[in-house]
Structure 1
Amino acid sequence: MRDVHGLLRSVWDEPRPPHAPRRLWRDWLLVGLLAVAVVLEGALRTDLQWRPFSAIFAAVMLPTLLWRRTRPLLALAVPVVTSSVIQLLTGADPAEMSASAYLLILLYALSRWGSGREALLGLGLISAAIVSAVVAGHIVSADIVGAFTVVFAAFALGGTFRYRARARMRELDQVKLLEREQLARDLHDTVAHHVSAMAIRAQAGIATAASSPDAAVDALRVIEAEASRTLTEMRAMVRLLRRDQPPEQAELAPNPHLDDLRQLAGQTRVGPSVNVEIDGDLDGVPASVGAAIYRIAQESVTNARRHAKHATRIEVRVAADDTSVRLRVSDDGDSTAARTAVTPGYGLLGMIERADLLGGTCEAGPNPGRGWTVTAELPRTGAAT
């Protein structure tokens, strides 16, 4: 009994899923198609006992479908309560038309987008409506099991999609968290490099202060520049860190840089060849931007080797100007359906997350002819969002 009470309590406290979409063009199309179905059924069916009244009721209640994601309980309650009250007061059955099956869409939406208490209240409401229909004589006792089976099937379907969406969201959050941690480690190593350079310059300035004051002043200028860059990197790192992590778990390998991109061309002797071209002035590009460009290029090349069927070459192009650093990785493989899936893989999501954290963009998609292209553009300053 205690377990059942705990389960009901957890369901009751379940919040609404985040980011419920509002009205879309598909919603208006659905209402329009159902309105046509109502008109046709009302005109063609002669076996309806309350034909004009049922058609008008169904047409008036159709707009509740537009609220089914933002106000799912209200969207279901309006037609169900109205229909039950009419049944009890007049004996008429306004939901006798087949088009009234749109109530199943409202049931699904309530389970998919409503909070736990809304779902339980809606389930109780529709159960009361079925009992009311039995009392009014519109549903015979033998059909009660079938009615409840349809109701619970619609609820179960909505709950299934709700669970799948939640599991997918957890996986995406994990990918984003891992990417943030990796970028934070890169920034940590960059800051450590700057601080080491400052310490060396300070020691040199102290050693030469007495004999060469100008050299000491130059050392101070370098320290000032390094300190400014270090503060920028530190601010970025503070924005990115989301949880504490023991220092011994941090990666000790040196961070990759833009110069390391050329190594991608020699990582394998089989499969498509990799050609790397770097253009523009790369001096002064922050290490975080260089590491991000390398990571995105590395992931793109790996994906191309793994998924680009019949590919013979992979082109990696990096171009830099005064404001941004741009990356383009393309292959000449087949643009098959497996590569053009709507749901992006976790590797691509990680690349998008890393670019977004640095204030840039990353996109991927098939070429007009053959092949697949990944493009990324990061601000040269590496300003984190």
Structure 2
Amino acid sequence: MPGLSLWREPRPVPVPPHGRRDHLLVGALLALTIAEALLRPGLPAASLLLTAAYTATLPWRREHPLPMVLLAFGAGALVSLLARDAVPDTYTMVYLLLLPYSLFRWGAGRDIVLGAAVMLAGMGLSALTRSTSLADSLGGLAVVSAVATAGLARRYRMRARARELDQVRLVERAQLARDLHDTVAHHVSAIAIRAQAGLAAAPARPQAATDALRLIETEASRALAEMRAMVDVLRRDEPAGYAPEPVAGDLHRLARPPGDGLRVDVHVDGDLATVQAPLGGALYRMAQESVTNAQRHARQATRVEVQVSVDDRSVRLRVGDDGSPARDTGRGYGLTGMSERVQLLGGVFRAGPDPAGGWSVAVELPLAGPAR
């Protein structure tokens, strides 16, 4: 049943706490109330005091939306019933529309139902006691309904966005799981070959078997280290693919001559051989994604530059184009996926308009993997 489903719906998380901007908002509204009192000298003092007092509900509108709605609309209905002359009639009172918006945006389902009932009862009581005319009551109902609908639409839009981002994270984890499979398969295959060679050579040359065991120990230790690094960042099982994965040394394949579409230059500073397979594969895919984005979206660009530098502790990647000044229009799912991958690998990610023009993506990944 839809009504029962709404009643049981939990609050969205996380709920932003009140902060400095909320207090600045209250201060600005108090200043507007004073200004209105000066510009409209005929307003009753009680009306102005209530207008100022209701601003205290605003800082808590996200954390406690139902109590704030009950306080504002319930108290307003009570005032209209007991003292019609004290009913606030100030233009500044429009700020109370923030309360129904916050209720439908941040409240639990039962809070929404109870709060909506209180608001309807308050507006109905004002109409019955003739504190407001029927036309004003219907207009107020329409405005409050529109604001509440906006809050509800924002609530479900952000929920859909969160699901989409979760899907991006799942895709990245699936790719990391494939990396794990390929890493283990590569090292285990090498161990099997060394073992077969040692067994074949042992009857004639016992020393060859010893050398094979040393190589097997080295290969197994490396496989275990890389497997631990990958398992540390995986939180759920995903099916693994069997296609060969790129490594850091494949970054040179991204280079393109001027005649083949947008020119791509690749510059490497350092030894890419020190970058382990899982990290190198992630680095290659992020560089490939960044180059593809530049080829699709860069405006008036003539080339894309891929710069990679490796030192003893980290590997850095920067991909930038020389297009016209870019505008940051929000983070797409490709950038979100790269950011999630970098976070899982314990690195730092930055993407945005470059001061020199165009767009740039910068990544720094620790060679040792994510800190535990």
TM superposition score normalised by structure 2 = 0.92
Q: Which residue in the other structure is 1:40 paired with?
A: 35
Q: Which residue in the other structure is 1:181 paired with?
A: 174
> Would you say 1:240 and 2:227 are equivalent positions?
no
CA distance, structure 2, for counterparts of residue 34 and residue 280 of structure 1: 59
1:360 pairs with 329, 347, 351, which one? 347
Structure 2 contact 308–317 (Cα < 8 Å) conserved = yes
Query: Structure 1 residues 96, 376: closer, same or farther in 2, change over 3 A?
Result: same
> Would you say 1:306 and 2:296 are equivalent positions?
yes
Q: What is the CA-CA distance between 1:210 and the residue it aligns to?
A: 4.7
Mark the runs of 5 or more structure 2 residues left unpaired by the alignment: none
CA distance, structure 1, for counterparts of residue 81 and residue 338 of structure 2: 60
Structure 2 contact 105–152 (Cα < 8 Å) conserved = yes
Q: Which residue in the other structure is 1:383 paired with?
A: 370
CA distance, structure 2, for counterparts of residue 271 and residue 27 of structure 1: 51
- The superposition leaves residues 234-293 of structure 1 with CA deviations (integer Å, 9 ceiling, x where unpaired) of 342474253554xxxx43321011111111113884333111111112333211110011
1:9 pairs with 4, 9, 19, which one? 4
Q: Which runs of structure 2 are paired with 1:1-385 in the superposition (5 Å)? A: 6-48=1-43, 51-235=44-228, 236-237=230-231, 239-240=233-234, 242-245=236-239, 250-266=240-256, 269-337=259-327, 340-341=328-329, 343-383=330-370
Structure 2 contact 301–321 (Cα < 8 Å) conserved = yes
Q: RMSD over aligned Cα, in angstroms?
A: 2.2
Q: What is the CA-CA distance between 1:122 and the residue it aligns to?
A: 0.8
The one-letter code matched in structure 1 to 2:70 is A
Q: Which residue in the other structure is 1:3 paired with?
A: none
The one-letter code matched in structure 2 to 1:381 is A
Structure 1 contact 184–241 (Cα < 8 Å) conserved = no
> 3-state DSSP class of the match of 1:310?
coil
> 3-state DSSP class of the match of 1:309?
coil
> 3-state DSSP class of the match of 2:312?
coil
- The superposition leaves residues 135-156 of structure 1 with CA deviations (integer Å, 9 ceiling, x where unpaired) of 4331233433222212211111
The one-letter code matched in structure 2 to 1:194 is H
CA distance, structure 1, for counterparts of residue 334 and residue 286 of structure 2: 9
CA distance, structure 2, for counterparts of residue 54 and residue 22 of structure 1: 30
Structure 1 contact 361–377 (Cα < 8 Å) conserved = yes
Query: Structure 1 residues 228, 64: closer, same or farther in 2, change over 3 A?
Result: farther
Q: What is the CA-CA distance between 1:29 and the residue it aligns to?
A: 2.9
CA distance, structure 2, for counterparts of residue 382 and residue 131 of structure 1: 63
Q: How many pairs were matched up?
A: 371
Q: What is the CA-CA distance between 1:326 and the residue it aligns to?
A: 0.6
The one-letter code matched in structure 2 to 1:320 is V
Higher deviation after alignment, 18-27 or 231-240: 231-240
CA distance, structure 1, for counterparts of residue 277 and residue 268 of structure 2: 16
CA distance, structure 1, for counterparts of residue 149 and residue 191 of structure 2: 62
Higher deviation after alignment, 52-61 or 131-140: 131-140
Structure 2 contact 307–318 (Cα < 8 Å) conserved = yes
Higher deviation after alignment, 209-218 or 256-265: 209-218
CA distance, structure 2, for counterparts of residue 113 and residue 262 of structure 1: 50
The one-letter code matched in structure 1 to 2:356 is G
> 3-state DSSP class of the match of 2:352?
strand
Q: What is the CA-CA distance between 1:199 and the residue it aligns to?
A: 1.7
Structure 1 contact 319–327 (Cα < 8 Å) conserved = yes
Query: Structure 1 residues 221, 73: closer, same or farther in 2, change over 3 A?
Result: farther
CA distance, structure 2, for counterparts of residue 356 and residue 267 of structure 1: 33
TM superposition score normalised by structure 1 = 0.89
The one-letter code matched in structure 1 to 2:241 is E
Structure 2 contact 319–361 (Cα < 8 Å) conserved = yes
Structure 2 contact 11–106 (Cα < 8 Å) conserved = yes
Q: What is the CA-CA distance between 1:7 and the residue it aligns to?
A: 0.4
Structure 2 contact 264–303 (Cα < 8 Å) conserved = yes
Structure 2 contact 325–358 (Cα < 8 Å) conserved = yes
> 3-state DSSP class of the match of 1:326?
strand
Higher deviation after alignment, 145-154 or 134-143: 134-143
Query: Structure 1 residues 301, 239: closer, same or farther in 2, change over 3 A?
Result: closer
CA distance, structure 2, for counterparts of residue 94 and residue 207 of structure 1: 98
- The superposition leaves residues 38-67 of structure 1 with CA deviations (integer Å, 9 ceiling, x where unpaired) of 11112221343xx21122222222132111
